[in-house]
């Protein structure tokens, strides 16, 4: 049987942003096509730390309970405290009121992708999108197949082809702005038995990279060790990562490291053009202080879904509505984080150390509340 080529909505990218939008739109009665260039389950470089606000929005959107996520192993590890180091000096250990949950992205993304599929979304994985025709709402794929819809959602991550083609149409100067504001992150997965320390809570390391930080995030059988920082404030990321491994006494362990980008304060003025919406990393929506992006992937998917539904039910200016909601419900908060980031990392080392010491010891409740909620 030939594949159908007309849909209400086509979503490019089946990460947390794309699967959420697909699931929600299908639930609202739309005929949805979800395309991803990779075959699922597929790995995704990520620390996998999900905050309380991420859990809240997940439980709001999807029809599962927290106990389902735990019993099916989607939540792989739960941490009740965290530690902060400045270089090799422990500054503080803080207990958390709301625990941090840690996931392995290969499982988390596959779970959400399959929920969308099982709910009735037409899913095609292993198919790369290479172009968008914004006038006819047509999506072109590498295999020569074309699909058309009333709306398109670009959920294709930090190197989004949908965003690139959209910006080419609107304002080519924004491309430089996007590259300048990206962070590069490097990560590796170390089996627990390779490290002599018993690590049962997330650890953050300041003072090891400019405009960024290092981390050890525990998983049930392994530790995700990584660091990330603004690209235009750092030079040789591999050297910085090797120095970090030395600090952790892991220099002799043969490590397979990988790097990927995080949007880091380079927001778009308008993540929408005609009937094409951008969500998640494709819309550059990650926190410029912590690098948290999973929550913003779900949140922007929810906003795009609601704007599409409103546009279909009552005639609204969906472009203005989407810009307004993304700005009010996401970017205002992220701009606040960017202000603190520039304040913290823009200060000289000695003052930075003092600021981290004072704020993590005396304001940790307020800070963790800000991150969690």
Contact flag: residue 116 with ligand FAD (CB under 6 A): no
264 contacts: CB under 8 Å, gap ≥ 6: 181, 182, 183, 211, 230, 286, 288, 291
Three-class DSSP category at 259: strand
Q: Which of residues 8-27 bind ligand FAD (CB under 6 A)?
A: 12-18
Question: Which run of H or of E encompasses 222?
Answer: strand 222-230
Nearer to ligand FAD (CB atom), residue 114 or residue 312: 114
| Binding-residue total with ligand FAD (CB under 6 A) | 38
| Min CB(243)–ligand FAD separation in Å | 18
The contact pattern for ligand FAD, residues 48-67, with x = CB under 6 A and - = no contact, is xx------------------
Q: Does 212 bind ligand FAD (CB under 6 A)?
A: no
Distance of CA 42 to the CA centre of its chain: 15
Site for ligand FAD, residues 171 to 190, rule: CB under 6 A: 185, 187
- Report helix, strand or coil for 300: helix
**Residue 44 binds to ligand FAD (criterion: CB under 6 A):** yes
- Establish if 297 lies at the interface with ligand FAD (CB under 6 A): yes
- Judge contact between 33 and 124, C-beta under 8 A: yes
The continuous run of DSSP H or E covering 215 comes out as: strand 212-218
Contact pattern for ligand FAD over residues 71 through 90, marking x by CB under 6 A: --------------------
In the bound complex, what is the minimum distance in angstroms from residue 350's beta carbon to ligand FAD?
Answer: 29
Least Cα distance to 7 among 97, 84, 121 occurs for 121
94/312 with CB nearer ligand FAD: 94
Q: Contact with ligand FAD (CB under 6 A): which of 286, 303, 304, 356?
A: 286
Between 10 and 91, CB nearer to ligand FAD: 10
What pairing do the DSSP bridges indicate for beta strands 222-230 and 212-218? antiparallel
Q: Does 294 bind ligand FAD (CB under 6 A)?
A: yes
Task: Using alpha carbons, select from 17, 27, 30 the residue that is nearest to residue 119.
Answer: 27
Nearer to ligand FAD, 213 or 295 (CB): 295
Cα end-to-end span (Å), the chain = 48
Cβ proximity of 25 and 287 under 8 Å: no
- Rounded to the nearest whole angstrom, what is the least distance from the CB of residue 111 to ligand FAD in the complex? 13
Within residues 315-344, the interface with ligand FAD by CB under 6 A covers none
| 154 part of the interface to ligand FAD, by CB under 6 A | no
Q: By C-beta, is 245 or 294 nearer to ligand FAD? A: 294
Cβ neighbours of 158 (radius 10 Å): 19
Which of 211, 208, 225 is CA-nearest to residue 264?
211
The residue ranges that bind ligand FAD (CB under 6 A) are 12-18, 35-38, 44-49, 128-129, 155-157, 161, 185, 187, 226, 260, 262, 280-282, 286, 291-295, 297
């Amino acid at each position: 049987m030939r594949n159908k080529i007309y849909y209400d909505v086509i979503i490019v990218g089946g990460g947390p942003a794309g699967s959420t939008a697909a699931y929600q739109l299908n639930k609202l009665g739309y005929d949805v096509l979800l395309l991803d260039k990779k075959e699922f389950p597929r790995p995704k470089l990520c620390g996998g730390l999900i905050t309380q606000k991420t859990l809240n929005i997940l439980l709001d959107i999807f029809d599962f309970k927290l106990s389902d996520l735990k019993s099916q192993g989607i939540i792989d590890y739960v941490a009740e405290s965290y530690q902060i180091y400045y270089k090799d000096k422990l500054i503080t250990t803080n207990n958390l009121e709301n625990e941090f949950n840690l996931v392995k992205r290969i499982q988390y993304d596959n779970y959400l992708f399959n929920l969308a599929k099982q709910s009735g979304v037409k899913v095609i994985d292993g198919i790369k999108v290479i172009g968008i025709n914004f006038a006819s709402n047509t999506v072109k794929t590498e295999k020569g197949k074309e699909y058309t819809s009333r709306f398109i959602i670009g959920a294709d991550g930090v190197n989004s082809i949908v965003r690139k083609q959209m910006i080419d149409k609107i304002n080519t100067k924004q491309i430089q702005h996007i590259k300048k504001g990206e962070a590069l992150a490097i990560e590796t997965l170390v089996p627990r038995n390779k490290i002599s320390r018993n690590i049962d809570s997330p650890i953050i390391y300041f003072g090891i990279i400019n405009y960024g930080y290092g981390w050890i995030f525990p998983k049930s059988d392994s530790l995700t060790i990584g660091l990330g920082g603004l690209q235009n404030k750092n030079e040789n990321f591999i050297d910085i990562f090797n120095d970090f491994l030395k600090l952790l006494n892991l220099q002799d362990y043969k490590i397979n490291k990988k790097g990927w980008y995080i949007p880091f304060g380079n927001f778009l003025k308008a993540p929408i053009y005609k009937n094409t919406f951008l969500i998640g990393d494709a819309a550059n929506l990650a926190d410029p202080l912590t690098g948290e992006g999973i929550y913003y992937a779900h949140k922007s998917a929810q906003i795009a879904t609601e704007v599409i539904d409103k546009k279909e039910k009552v005639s609204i200016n969906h472009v203005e509505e989407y810009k307004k909601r993304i700005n009010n419900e996401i970017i205002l908060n992220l701009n606040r984080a960017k202000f603190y980031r520039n304040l913290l990392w823009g200060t000289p080392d000695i003052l930075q150390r003092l600021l981290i010491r004072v704020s993590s010891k005396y304001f940790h409740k307020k800070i963790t509340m800000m991150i969690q909620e």
